[in-house]
Structure 1
Amino acid sequence: MRFNRKPSDAPVENFSRKSLIATAVSLAAVLILLVPVRLDAYPVVYDWNKDVPSRSNPPVKTIVKFDTDTRLDMVRVYHLAPQKPITITLKGKSGSYQIKNFARVGAFGPKKQLQVYRADKPGIVVKAGDYQVMSSDPATWLYNAETGNRGFLAIDGTRQSKELGQLAVGQRLVLDNIQFAG
Structure 2
Amino acid sequence: MLSVEYRRAPEFPFPTPIEDAYAALRWLHDHAPELGVDRDRIAVMGDSAGGGMAAALAILSSDRGGPKIAHQLLIMPMLDDRLAAPDPDIERYAVWSYDDSRTAWPALLGEAAGGPDVPPTAAPARLDDATGLPPAYLEVGQIDVFRDENLAYASTLSRAGVQVEFHMHPGAPHEFDSIAFTSDVARRAIADRVRVLRSL
What TM-score do you get using the length of structure 1 for normalisation?
0.25
**Structure label with greater radius of gyration:** 1
> More relative contact order in 1 or in 2 (CA 8 Å, sep 6+)?
1
Q: Is the strand fraction higher in 1 or 2?
A: 1
What TM-score do you get using the length of structure 2 for normalisation?
0.23
